[in-house]
Amino acid sequence: MDFIIAATYDSYIDAHLAMGNLLSEDINCWLKDENTVTIDPILTNAIGGIKLMVAEPQIDRALDILQRTKQQYQAQNPCPHCGSVNVEYVSTPKKASNWLGTFVSVVLNAGAPMAIEKVYHCFDCGFEYKDTVNNKET
């Protein structure tokens, strides 16, 4: 049986939540590159993240389930500036501390992943904000 990439994740928690959601709907799926990303997060971008692999005959149904779940999640935390739900939880390069952390990590050859601030980014108005629903600390 052939498997197709349905989605990619940079967090094993998000990947497992999505996989669990699909498994509960009897979708045949598994995670590719989970161990590599979990053990060495610096390689996440190099290998393309954790890939949620879905059996080819079930890919359309799986994509529908993933899209519906994403829309439900986005509706819980709309942009406080314009009210749009066209938002994503992303790493922000705007903070000086993110750039400083990268520089220090490279200079000291620390090998540890830098702390990156994650915020919601509205793709309609460009506003960035913290998660107010789940009280995530960024």
**Residue-by-residue pLDDT tens, the chain, 138 positions:** 899 999 999 889 999 999 999 999 999 999 999 999 999 888 888 999 999 999 999 999 999 999 999 999 888 888 999 999 998 888 765 555 555 666 666 666 655 555 567 788 899 999 988 865 554 443
Q: Which domain range does residue 13 map to?
A: 3-76
For position 129, what pLDDT does the model report?
85
* Residue 136: inside a domain: no
- The single-letter code of the amino acid at 126 is G
Q: Is 108 part of a structural domain of the chain?
A: yes
Q: Check whether residue 10 and residue 58 sit in a common domain.
A: yes
Domain count, the chain: 2
Distance of alpha carbon 114 from alpha carbon 128, whole angstroms: 21
Distance between CA 123 and CA 120 in Å, rounded? 10
pLDDT of residue 104: 65
CA distance 38 to 42: 9
- Asked whether residue 17 falls in the same domain as residue 66, the answer is yes
Same domain for 39 and 72, yes or no, is yes
CA 101 – CA 92 distance, rounded (Å): 13
Distance CA 75, CA 27 (A): 25
Residue 88, classed as helix, strand or coil, is strand
**Helix, strand, coil share of the chain (percent; to 5):** 45, 20, 35
Q: Are 65 and 95 members of one domain?
A: no
The residue type at 49: G
Helix (H, G, I), strand (E, B) or coil at 87: strand
* 15 and 59 in a common domain: yes
pLDDT of residue 138: 36
